[in-house]
Amino acid sequence: MKKILLFSILFCAIAMPAIGALDDADLNKIRLIVSEEIKKETDTINTKIDKETNTINTKLDAIETRLRTVETGVAELRGRNIGFSAVQDWIVALCAVAAIILSIIALRKAAPKAPPTAQDTPKAVSQ
């Protein structure tokens, strides 16, 4: 029993300074240590964020260049389409004119000739 009492008194004597209140100097030291650790962590986080934003910016630049090439390709195709539509319009117009001319020629060939009138003299047939 004496040993238990002796050990408990010894442990209380050792723990006594830890029970004391923290003064302002101790709190300032703790604040300084915490702020330094926070600064270290924020610096590492900021460098990681900077690296990521740089890689994202390079990827965006590559995407923008691809988009520009696609836009120029689309513009070229639209220009060609306009050119083809103009040529197509002229071909349709030429086909319509040709169809009109062919129909006039066909109507002239198919038109019945007028019967001979009394004023027309029959030609003599030579024997």
Asked if residue 112 belongs to a domain, the reply is no
Q: If you average pLDDT over each of 24-38, 48-62, 70-84, 85-99, which comes out highest?
A: 48-62
Asked if residue 116 belongs to a domain, the reply is no
Asked if residue 67 belongs to a domain, the reply is yes
Least confident of 55-59, 74-78, 87-91, 110-114: 110-114
Please give the pLDDT value at position 127: 52
Please give the pLDDT value at position 75: 87
Asked if residue 126 belongs to a domain, the reply is no
DSSP the chain: -HHHHHHHHHHHHHHHHHHSPP-HHHHHHHHHHHHHHHHHHHHHHHHHHHHHHHHHHHHHHHHHHHHHHHHHHHHHHHHHHHHHHHHHHHHHHHHHHHHHHHHHHHHHHHSPPPPP-TTSPPPPPP-
Q: CA of 84: how far to CAs of 40, 51, 74, 78, 90, in Å?
A: 66, 50, 15, 10, 10
Asked if residue 37 belongs to a domain, the reply is yes
pLDDT, tens digit, for every residue of 17-33? 666 667 888 889 999 99
The pTM is what?
A: 0.43
Give the domain range for residue 42.
Answer: 22-106
Asked if residue 11 belongs to a domain, the reply is no
What is the tally of structural domains in the chain? Answer: 1
